[in-house]
A and B are shown apart, each in its own frame.
Chain A
Amino acid sequence: MLIRDAADLTENDVTDEALYLRRREFIAGAAAIGAAGVMAPSAFAADAPATVKFAPNKMKIDEALTPFEVVSTYNNFYEFGTGKGDPAANAGSLKIAPWTVAVDGLCQKPRSFDISDIVRRYPLEERIYRMRCVEAWSMVIPWIGFPLSALLREVEPLGSAKYVAFQTLHDPKQMPGQRRNVIDWPYREGLRLDEAMNPLTLLSVGLYGRLLPRQNGAPIRLVVPWKYGFKGIKSIVKITLTDRQPRTSWQMLAPDEYGFYGNVNPDVDHPRWSQARERRIGELLRRKTLPFNGYGEQVASLYRGMNPKKLY
Chain B
Amino acid sequence: MTRQTKDRLISALVWLLCVMPLLLFVWQGFTGGLTANPIEYILRELGLWGLRFLCITLAISPLAKLLKMPVLMRYRRRVGLWAFAYVALHLIMYVAVDQQFGWSFIIEDIVKRPYITIGMAAFVLLVPLAITSANRIRRKMRVRSWRRLHQLIYLIAVMGVVHYLLLVKADIRSPLIYGGIVAVLLGWRLVMRFRVARPRPGSGAPSLDRPARSL
Please report A residues at the B interface, Cβ cutoff 8 Å.
Answer: 70, 73-74, 78, 82, 84-85, 135, 137, 180, 182-183, 253-254, 269, 271-274, 276-277, 279, 281-282, 284-286
Contact = CB atoms under 8 A, between A and B. Distances in A.
A29 B173 CA distance: 47
Interface of B: 35-37, 39-40, 97, 99-100, 102, 105, 108-109, 112-113, 115, 166-167, 169-171, 173
A70 B36 contact: yes
B36 A282 contact: yes
Looking at B35, B99, B173, the one whose CB has the most chain A CB atoms below 10 A away is: B35
A183 B36 contact: no
A271 B116 CA distance: 12
A73 B36 contact: yes
Looking at A78, A85, A272, the one whose CB has the most chain B CB atoms below 10 A away is: A272
Contact of B170 (A74, A183, A281, A286): A183
B37 A279 contact: yes
Nearest to A258: B169
Contacts of A281: 36-37
Given A269-B112, A272-B166, A274-B105, A74 B37 contact: yes
A286 B37 CA distance: 12
B37 A274 contact: no
Contacts of B170: 78, 82, 182-183, 253-254
7 contacts: A73-B35, A78-B170, A84-B36, A84-B37, A183-B170, A281-B36, A282-B36
Given A82-B171, A253-B170, A274-B108, A279 B40 contact: yes
Given A137-B37, A274-B105, 15 more contacts: A73-B36, A74-B35, A78-B170, A85-B35, A180-B173, A182-B171, A271-B113, A272-B113, A273-B109, A276-B105, A277-B102, A277-B105, A281-B37, A282-B36, A284-B39
A272 B167 contact: yes
Contacts of B35: 73-74, 84-85
Nearest to A134: B169
B100 to A, nearest CB: 6
A74 B36 contact: yes
